[in-house]
Amino acid sequence: MALKIVKGSIDRMFDKNLQDLVRGIRNHKEDEAKYISTCIDEIKQELKQDNIAVKANAVCKLTYLQMLGYDVSWAAFNIVEVMSSSKFTYKRIGYLAASQCFHENTDVIMLTTNQIRKDLSSPNQYDTGVALTGLSCFVTPDLARDLANDIMTLMSHTKPYIRKKAVLIMYKVFLKYPESLRPAFPRLKEKLEDPDPGVQSAAVNVICELARRNPKNYLSLAPLFFKLMTSSTNNWVLIKIIKLFGALTPLEPRLGKKLIEPLTNLIHSTSAMSLLYECVNTVIAVLISLSSGMPNHSASIQLCVQKLRILIEDSDQNLKYLGLLAMSKILKTHPKSVQSHKDLILQCLDDKDESIRLRALDLLYGMVSKKNLMEIVKKLMIHVDKAEGTTYRDELLTKIIDICSQSNYQYITNFEWYISILVELTRLEGTRHGHLIASQMLDVAIRVKAIRVFAVAQMATLLDNAHLLTGNMQRNGICEVLYAAAWICGEFSEHLENPVQTLEAMLRPKVATLPGHIQAVYVQNAAKLFATILKNQEGNTDSTAAQETSQMMIDRLPLFVQSANLEVQERASCILQLVKYIQKLQQKDVEVAEEVSALFAGELNPVAPKAQKKVPVPEGLDLDAWINEPPSESESEDEQPKAIFTKEEPKHSRPRHTEVDEKELARRREARKQEQANNPFYIKASPSSQKVYQEAPGVEHIPVVQIDLSVPLKVPGLPMSDQYVKLEEERRQKERAEKKKKEKKKRKEKRSGRGKKHDSGPESEEDITPAHVVDIVTEEMPENALPSDDDDKDPNDPHKALDIDLDKPLADSEKLPVRSHRAAGAPKSSAEDGEAENATPQEPKKKSSKEKRDKKKDKERDRKRSKEEKKKKKHKHEEKEEDLLGGQAEEPVVQSEEMKEVEAQPTSTSAEEAATVAEAAPAPEAPAGTAADSEPEEPKDTETEESSSKHKKKKQKKEKEEKEKKKKKKHHHHHHHSDGGGEESVQNGTVEEEEPLPPMSNYCLLAENSYIKMVCDIQGNLQDGSQVVVSVIFENKSDSFLKSMEFNVLDSLNSKLQRPEGSGPHDGLTVPFQLPPGVSNEARFVFTVQSIVMPQKLKGTLTFIVKNEDSSTHEKLDFKLHFTCTSYLITTPCYSDAFAKLLESGDLKSSSVRLEGVNMPFHHLLARICFHHHFSVVERIDSCASMYSRSIQGHHVCLLVKTSGQTVSIDAKCDEPTLLGNVLDEIKQTFSQC
């Protein structure tokens, strides 16, 4: 106490630090909570101080308390304060605290954007690193959008430490802001080949994460990864890549074939178990994806199984576990190869390690056959008895049921045995799976008609001994089985031996302690039983028995009438009144049995779980149609921001089966009938009355088992399944003997024949005939139900939004938002994005109603097609492969339906187009973006309804659509899978222009000598009207190490190199990296420019030190920087209406130029102008296009480009004639060079 007072009075230097806090908590074990609350009070005081050191200390302590479970969100703002400290020590504490306790809903996060941006661009790499680390934990969609561009710039940072962090965090950015994926992807891809292994590993990591969720979009990277796999020695990277291939192979069988060999080599050569294991896993995935037909197919499986066996036999439990895990994957497709290791797996069932036992259980599922099912289950039952933990026992229980019920009880030959197993399982104490057992009992009793007599008898015993089950535990899960027991006894009461006794058991007072829903079933089924009893007894002459039964009902039911459960109460009171009425009639000697049992007449058929969902929508019912006229949409709706994903979401719930024409219906019905006729298990719906059962089909075929003597049916201690095992053995033996006899006979008769062939070897699966000729009733489905299995994907899965086609060229609209105030970074990216300039959105703003209708039609068409695709799915696989082998695309040809729904317009890429992209892609400086960017429309843009109002092309487009429809129809019949691509190319109106663009680069040679080569690109800076950024790539051509590079330029009056504060006007700038031999790297320099109307040249020098092993020399290289007028232009999209207004305004001076002998396709020409001169295409009609660009100082430059033959005429307008003249000259020069 005294200390505290003193402390308050002296100074903050007595503040506890983290260590003191920890120590204090340890010293106050008894009153920890109280101590901590005083500490929190102190911390609150400290946070009020102005001293940032004190605050940081307080925040540090809070981080510790957060770990102990204390809510510290109240200090969020203080954390932000500490984050923004300029000292690294404090900043680090702040970011740590933030990463521990901030999350998406923390509102102060929005205050941090600028701080984080500042830290990201900090000259100190550790400030940047700390910010990246922190951000990776609490990035929100807003932060991701605002910072995506900054982070992308960091991916090319000179320090690998920052690069790898930036690369990793991009994954989080993609998740939160999916739009960033496409613009950032080219650079991410580049990082796969980064010289630093850490960065490379990070890039692999990110792409693997992305590809795992949407593998089909990453198939085109397969060759690159293949190269990495064969060249990398880093096991982390290898593991990731091999895992990725595991995800890709199902989509591309050819890839799998290629993989087998290197993977097999790795399996043989590697010493790292982790790598070996992943290789085996991927080989398994490959083998699964290749249906069959590989020559050394079985060899690979053998290799895998053999390696796995080694793992499983290892003494290391971890390897054993993983071996079993992988084994279960093989099991699905190649059960035979696993079955030969049954001994090993059964042995694992006895392992002391529960995880291993569980994995072994998984495998058992595939090990069973008709022959060994009983034996295996017997073994499991022993385990059930021995198992100590409830979780393991529950797992055993579910496994037993899984194993037995798999593929429609395929392996069960004796259902009596199964029922008794189920009954035995009810003796488990405290299991959670009562309902599972119950549903099995119900299922078997309903679907296997022949077993009903036996089942009913067993259930009656269960009901009679219900007290054993419920025991003392009220909430015991096992009492669920009573639900099943009561229902079975009621529903099939005609099989009961002693119905009165069962009825009595169901109406015991103890029943009232059962859960409500079970009581309800009891009451209802008591009524059914009652009806049966009446029917039996009325035949007798003695009517008193019947009256006694009624009396019993009347005596016992009031107990249920008082139940707190509404359902029980309602049913009980209903039935009570009914029985009272019956009693009245009985006393008058009226025959009532017939009428009472009519209440419960009719068979209940099992209904398939998805039946309801599959009821087709009747013809003529359009669920999408408005019932009333829709409220008039306001104009502004058209200008809604593009939200492709959210907007489309409702469509997912759209019913798919709207249109089924009459013929199709009839056809399906016919097919169904056929199928049913051929299905021996199918029972045709009979006019159902319960009597039918007694003469159920096939009774005379049942080889009767001598149940009477050996089965302890009436022993209340419940039956023993073991006896069935013995019985079954005997039965099978007998059968075999009989068969032999028969065969002998046959042989005797047919001495000459090849009777030997039938000589019974070991009993084969098929030889075992089930003890009961069971009718396994198939579950009912609505007529016309489609056999589709719609996957219920989680719509909230963030990865769904990342299902983005990455091979498509970048569109203009797909830029990362740039809000940077810094010079560097922004221009580069905008330039990169700008390469895909022409893809200006061209959708009319206001849609005429006609167009709307058109769109609707489109949708319908899509739907139809998707349905058709579904139908053709079976054939698809083969067809697809064929096509792939013919074409050379590494692309999945048919995209998933979801994708289509998301984009409304089908966008599947055709094989040809993919090939085009693939060819264009390798050019390093002209990423895929340039390849097809002259296409005026991106599907995405079609979606977004923002753009110009009066659209000249509208008409044309419609015509095209018409054409396209026709074309598509044709396509449909021939090879449907290419129609998606066909459609797209037609839509783009450039079928004939599909030919690839040559690779282009804006980097031009600056200077070169024997040591170093400099190439540069000059770009204007969008943010600052007077700045130009020069990106220079330095390439070390020598065998020596280059260091201390200094870049200097002689300033002119008009242009000056921006130097850091404090340096003189003639000082050089240090290039922020060194160059090992053969390495190149990029640096950027910012220049300020006064006037931009004239091109100019600046002289400069690069000095550097060449360091050899023994000597170092000083070298220099002179260069001339050429600022063209083009470099002052910035690609800016312009809509045609704005463009028209601009031209009409009359402020612009015009000029024109003619180019002769231009020998290239028009779209190449446009692409070149766009790429080299930073223009964007506003509109293009045939051989005429309007283009637009803007200078960094806001001058508008408009071009009208026309072509006829080899002559191209360019009419241009600009508000600055000198600038325009120079730009035109430069354009002319560009084309004269090629």
Partner 1 sequence: MIKAILIFNNHGKPRLIRFYQYFHQAAQDTSYCKAEDMQQQIIRETFHLVSKRDDNVCNFLEGGSLIGGSDYKLIYRHYATLYFVFCVDSSESELGILDLIQVFVETLDKCFENVCELDLIFHMDKVHYILQEVVMGGMVLETNMNEIVAQVEVQNRMEKSEGGLSAAPARAVSAVKNMNLPEIPRNINIGDINIKVPSLSPF
Q: Toward partner 1, which CB reaches closer, 174 or 1162?
A: 174
Please report the sign of the dihedral spanned by the C-alpha atoms of residue 970, residue 976, residue 982, residue 987: positive
Q: Toward partner 1, which CB reaches closer, 181 or 1208?
A: 181
914 contributes a contact to partner 1 by CB under 8 A: no
Q: Toward partner 1, which CB reaches closer, 286 or 322?
A: 322
Q: Which of 4, 19, 375, 924 binds partner 1 (CB under 8 A)?
A: 19
Binding mask 1139-1158 for partner 1 (x = CB under 8 A): --------------------
Q: Which of 316, 350, 375, 780 binds partner 1 (CB under 8 A)?
A: 316
Q: Which of 176, 320, 957, 1180 binds partner 1 (CB under 8 A)?
A: 320
800 contributes a contact to partner 1 by CB under 8 A: no
Tell which residue, 70, 73, 74, has the closest CA to residue 36: 70
814 contributes a contact to partner 1 by CB under 8 A: no
205 contributes a contact to partner 1 by CB under 8 A: yes
343 contributes a contact to partner 1 by CB under 8 A: no
- Minimum distance, C-beta of residue 169 to partner 1, in the bound complex (Å): 6
Beta-carbon count within 10 A of 853 CB:
11
**CA separation (Å) from 257 to 216, 290, 297, 887?**
17, 8, 10, 18
Burial of 1103 (0-12, 13-18, 19+ CB in 10 A): middle
89 contributes a contact to partner 1 by CB under 8 A: yes
Q: Which of 26, 475, 751, 757 binds partner 1 (CB under 8 A)?
A: 26
From 261-269, 289-297, 315-323, 695-703, span contacting partner 1 (CB under 8 A): 315-323
Q: Rounded CA gap, 846 and 1170, in Å?
A: 29
353 contributes a contact to partner 1 by CB under 8 A: yes
From 94-102, 537-545, 860-868, 1040-1048, span contacting partner 1 (CB under 8 A): 94-102
18 contributes a contact to partner 1 by CB under 8 A: yes
Q: What is the DSSP string of 214-225?
A: SGGGGGGGHHHH
413 contributes a contact to partner 1 by CB under 8 A: no
Interface of this chain with partner 1, residues 861 to 890, rule: CB under 8 A: none
Interface of this chain with partner 1, residues 117 to 136, rule: CB under 8 A: 126, 132-133, 136
Q: Which of 1, 5, 33, 352 binds partner 1 (CB under 8 A)?
A: 352
- Minimum distance, C-beta of residue 325 to partner 1, in the bound complex (Å): 8
Report the greatest alpha carbon distance in the chain: 127
14 contributes a contact to partner 1 by CB under 8 A: yes
Question: Residue 1200, CB half-sphere, CA atoms under 13 Å: how many?
Answer: 11
137 contributes a contact to partner 1 by CB under 8 A: yes
Interface of this chain with partner 1, residues 1017 to 1036, rule: CB under 8 A: none
1213 contributes a contact to partner 1 by CB under 8 A: no
Which two tokens mark 495? 């099989």
Q: Whose structure tokens read 């600052």?
A: 1024
Which two tokens mark 762? 């070991």
Tell which residue, 1175, 1186, 1184, 1177, has the closest CA to residue 1223: 1175
Binding mask 1167-1196 for partner 1 (x = CB under 8 A): ------------------------------
**CA separation (Å) from 1154 to 31, 112, 1200, 1201, 1209?**
90, 54, 12, 10, 4
33 contributes a contact to partner 1 by CB under 8 A: no
Specify whether the CB–CB gap between 1188 and 1132 falls below 8 A.
yes
275 contributes a contact to partner 1 by CB under 8 A: yes
318 contributes a contact to partner 1 by CB under 8 A: yes
Tell which residue, 502, 600, 515, 597, has the closest CA to residue 564: 515
From 18-26, 678-686, 760-768, 1217-1225, span contacting partner 1 (CB under 8 A): 18-26
From 39-47, 300-308, 319-327, 421-429, span contacting partner 1 (CB under 8 A): 319-327
17 contributes a contact to partner 1 by CB under 8 A: yes
35 contributes a contact to partner 1 by CB under 8 A: no
From 206-214, 216-224, 525-533, 994-1002, span contacting partner 1 (CB under 8 A): 206-214
322 contributes a contact to partner 1 by CB under 8 A: yes
Q: Rounded CA gap, 368 and 374, in Å?
A: 9
Q: Toward partner 1, which CB reaches closer, 277 or 1188?
A: 277
Question: Residue 53, CB half-sphere, CA atoms under 13 Å: how many?
Answer: 5
User: Helix, strand, or coil here: 976?
Assistant: helix
Interface of this chain with partner 1, residues 529 to 568, rule: CB under 8 A: none
- Minimum distance, C-beta of residue 261 to partner 1, in the bound complex (Å): 22
Q: Toward partner 1, which CB reaches closer, 206 or 1220?
A: 206
Q: How many residues bind partner 1 (CB under 8 A)?
A: 82
Q: Whose structure tokens read 């354009």?
A: 1227
Q: Toward partner 1, which CB reaches closer, 209 or 890?
A: 209
Which two tokens mark 1061? 């504060």
Phi/psi region, residue 197 (left: phi>0; alpha: psi -120 to 50; beta: rest), is alpha
- Minimum distance, C-beta of residue 219 to partner 1, in the bound complex (Å): 18
Which two tokens mark 437? 């057992």
Q: Rounded CA gap, 751 and 758, in Å?
A: 13
Specify whether the CB–CB gap between 931 and 921 falls below 8 A.
yes
Give, for 947, the enclosing helix (H) or strand (E).
Answer: none
Binding mask 150-169 for partner 1 (x = CB under 8 A): -----------x--xx--xx
Q: What are phi and psi of 1210, to 5 degrees?
A: -120, 115
43 contributes a contact to partner 1 by CB under 8 A: no
- Minimum distance, C-beta of residue 367 to partner 1, in the bound complex (Å): 21
From 24-32, 406-414, 653-661, 797-805, span contacting partner 1 (CB under 8 A): 24-32
Binding mask 215-254 for partner 1 (x = CB under 8 A): -------------------xxx--x---x-----------
69 contributes a contact to partner 1 by CB under 8 A: yes
Strand partners, 1191: 1129
Pairing of strands 1055-1057, 1080-1089: antiparallel
Q: Toward partner 1, which CB reaches closer, 129 or 936?
A: 129
Strand partners, 1130: 1190
Tell which residue, 1188, 381, 409, 416, has the closest CA to residue 777: 409
- Minimum distance, C-beta of residue 92 to partner 1, in the bound complex (Å): 7
Q: Rounded CA gap, 814 and 817, in Å?
A: 9
599 contributes a contact to partner 1 by CB under 8 A: no
53 contributes a contact to partner 1 by CB under 8 A: yes
198 contributes a contact to partner 1 by CB under 8 A: yes
User: Helix, strand, or coil here: 1014?
Assistant: strand
3-state helix vs strand vs coil in the chain, percent to 5: 60, 10, 30
Q: Toward partner 1, which CB reaches closer, 201 or 721?
A: 201
Specify whether the CB–CB gap between 486 and 518 falls below 8 A.
yes
1007 contributes a contact to partner 1 by CB under 8 A: no
Question: Residue 382, CB half-sphere, CA atoms under 13 Å: how many?
Answer: 9
Tell which residue, 718, 705, 690, has the closest CA to residue 460: 718
Specify whether the CB–CB gap between 1099 and 1050 falls below 8 A.
yes
Q: Rounded CA gap, 1151 and 903, in Å?
A: 43
23 contributes a contact to partner 1 by CB under 8 A: yes
From 20-28, 819-827, 915-923, 982-990, span contacting partner 1 (CB under 8 A): 20-28
Beta-carbon count within 10 A of 1144 CB:
9
Q: Toward partner 1, which CB reaches closer, 38 or 689?
A: 38
